[in-house]
Amino acid sequence: MQWRADIEYRLEHNGQVCYLRSVLNDLFDPIERRITITDEVEEQADQTWYQRHTETTRLLPMRETRRPLIIERRGFGGINGFDFWINIPLSLYATIELSRLRAIVSTYKLASKRFSINYTEG
């Protein structure tokens, strides 16, 4: 019965942003539902972005355009190097297993789409 429920859940969700956001929040932040997905970095004056770098988290300096300056990003070709960004609150940093998150996103996204996982304050 559980297997059937899991398969039905997968069939009800697809790669659309609203469904992908729903799946990620159901699994990793079911109460507050703070995980968001954006097409590009939103311009917000008080937004601070973080990048996971091996075992440490580094604060990224902001450019004049209020977009983060990406440091040592593998395969990154500028702001348009990714098709969408997954924004995760910094408070969930220790609770989310990154390899599991990437596997779930890869299950639902289209094969040609590239994504980045970013940690944000808030």
**Per-residue pLDDT tens for 15-43?**
899 999 999 999 999 999 999 999 864 44
Whole-angstrom Cα distance, residue 30 to residue 57? 24
Question: What φ, ψ does residue 16 adopt, rounded to 5°?
Answer: -65, 150
Q: What is the mean pLDDT of the chain?
A: 77
Segment 83-98 mean pLDDT: 90
pLDDT > 60? residue 64 = no
Q: Is the pLDDT of residue 103 over 90?
A: yes
CA distance 13 to 25: 13
Q: Which amino acid, one-letter code, is at 46? A: D
Q: What is the reported pLDDT for 58?
A: 52
104 exposure class (CB count in 10 Å sphere: 0-12, 13-18, 19+): middle
